[in-house]
Amino acid sequence: MKALVKTQAGPGLELVDVPVPTPGPSDVLIQVASTGVCGTDLHIDSWDAWAAARVQPGRVIGHEFSGRVVEVGSAVTDVEVGDVVSGEGHLVCGRCRACRAGRRHLCIATVGIGVQADGCFAEYVVLPAGNVWVHRHPIDLDVAAIFDPFGNAVHTALAFPCLGEDVLVTGAGPIGIMAAMVARHAGARHVVVTDLAPERLALAAELGATLAVDIRTSSAAEAQQQLGMREGFDVGLEMSGSAAALRDMIAQMTHGGRIAALGLPAGEVSIDMATVVLNMLTIKGIYGREMFETWYAMDVLVHSGLDVSGVITDRFGFADHREAFSTARSGSGGKVVLRWSD
């Protein structure tokens, strides 16, 4: 089969022939339909320090996908050949304290497909049946392919109640935009999105943000004035990983405000702890998806009318992976999808 592989310890990826993986007794073999290009994949492609410390050459990369089950292991009882599926790419140990308590997203021994295990940028992928999400209702395969990042958005946006609240989203990347959409769908009054990229801000506005603010020419504080807000934002969703964005978000929160932080900074971040303490703010770190509570929430949101397909702005065949990665790296659009089969 064709697969996108990190063949050597250095920049670049190669589309090569590798054997079709063989499922074990508790696994399923999936014919991949569509895959989403993630920032993690860009790190592995460019071979930065993060990737060099985690990825072994020879690895098939990729962790966001949809597809159809073509084979199931002998011990699999709840997934069938022909099922349309997405997959939870975090493989957990099942034995640590968090796993045994049902908090698998907190597993201390998590292994990620496409990073420490072979991933889905290939014509076929093997996944434990327990990590497979079966779509029981009709769904666009490109949308199903981005359930992983959609889950990040849902996990972040629903970390705190949004009903009737004013929400600030810093970072208008695809996950930030989807988080803004989830917050609106969950009943937020105002959702303000800030970023530096005009194209992404335009997409955020198109997909339902109350205001999309270019912080080079305006600010979240000015957005509050424009919307007639008097006491600050109730909920903050930090999606950018920018130290400046987090510091400004803290300054814009109401007393008792709550911040969910998904964006991963490149280094240490200093914040005004006096403001956090005196204004009684809550800052909660978010990673991945709750297994599988977030997946249930995603499924319900999609089938209750939340259409996230608009966040997908670019689609490529897998042979055009270099152009797809270049488009994703440009930061000028939404989600980029690679198609592997119909």
Contact partners, residue 24, CB within 8 Å, separation at least 6: 73, 126
What are 260-297's pLDDT values in tens digits? Answer: 999 999 889 999 999 999 999 999 999 999 999 999 99
Active site includes 40?
A: yes
Sort residue 305 into left (φ over 0), alpha (ψ -120 to 50) or beta.
Answer: left
pLDDT at 81: 98
CATH architecture of 153-285: 3-Layer(aba) Sandwich (3.40)
Two tokens at 209?
Answer: 């943000």
Rounded mean pLDDT of the chain? 97
pLDDT in tens, 32-77: 999 999 999 999 999 999 999 999 999 999 999 999 999 999 999 9
Give the tens place of pLDDT for each residue, 212-225: 999 999 999 999 99
Structure-token pair, residue 14: 């190669």
How far is residue 337 from each of residues 27, 134, 162, 281, measured CA to CA in Å?
25, 20, 30, 37
Residue 43 designated active-site: yes
Q: Does domain 2-146+308-339 have CATH number 3.90.180.10?
A: yes
Catalytic residue among 35, 40, 170, 254: 40
pLDDT in the model for residue 342: 73
- The band of 163, judged by pLDDT with boundaries at 50, 70 and 90, is very high
Residue identified by tokens 């993690």 is 40
Indicate the annotated binding residues for Zn(2+): 38, 63-64, 93, 96, 99, 107
Report pLDDT digits (tens) over 294-315. 999 999 999 999 999 999 999 9
Taking the C-alpha atoms of residue 173 and residue 207, their distance in angstroms, rounded to an integer, is 13
Write down the catalytic residue from 22, 35, 43, 217: 43
What are the residue ranges spanned by the domains of the chain? Answer: 2-146+308-339, 153-285
Known binding-site residues equal 38, 63-64, 93, 96, 99, 107, 175, 195, 200, 262-264, 286-287
Q: Which residues pair with residue 126 across a beta bridge?
A: 29
**Where does the pLDDT of residue 118 fall: very low under 50, low under 70, confident under 90, or very high at 90 and above?**
very high
